[in-house]
Amino acid sequence: MQGSAVSDVSTRLEGFSDFARATMAAWKVPGLAVAAVKDGAVIFSQGFGLRDVNGGPEVTSQTLFAIGSCTKAFTAMGLAILADEGKLDWDTPVRTYLPAFRMHDHGATP
């Protein structure tokens, strides 16, 4: 990023670190990492807190977290955006969009 763009991002994110720490305390979150991406480029990346509830190393922008089942929520959000844009319909069978889709139980495949 060029100098003025960096200072613009810094100005717009002023106070974010305090907000992140206060939110972590309120929700009792030991650590988190945040990244903001604009036009395919990372414009902000920072770690907060500790990697473990028992202490340990600090979270950095490179810390990897196990996100478990959160990907289901991300997928549902992505589908909701597509539905909102009229690119898919919730009531249309999935195989309309993904003809190769098959369930392990063939009787459950729509």
Residues with a known catalytic role: 69
Q: What's the rounded Cα separation, in Å, for the pair 100 and 59?
A: 41
Residues 6+ apart with CB under 8 A from 13: 36, 44
| Integer Cα distance of 108 and 102 in angstroms | 9
Q: Read out DSSP for 45-61?
A: EEEEEEEETTEEEEP-T
Structure tokens, 81: 């955006």
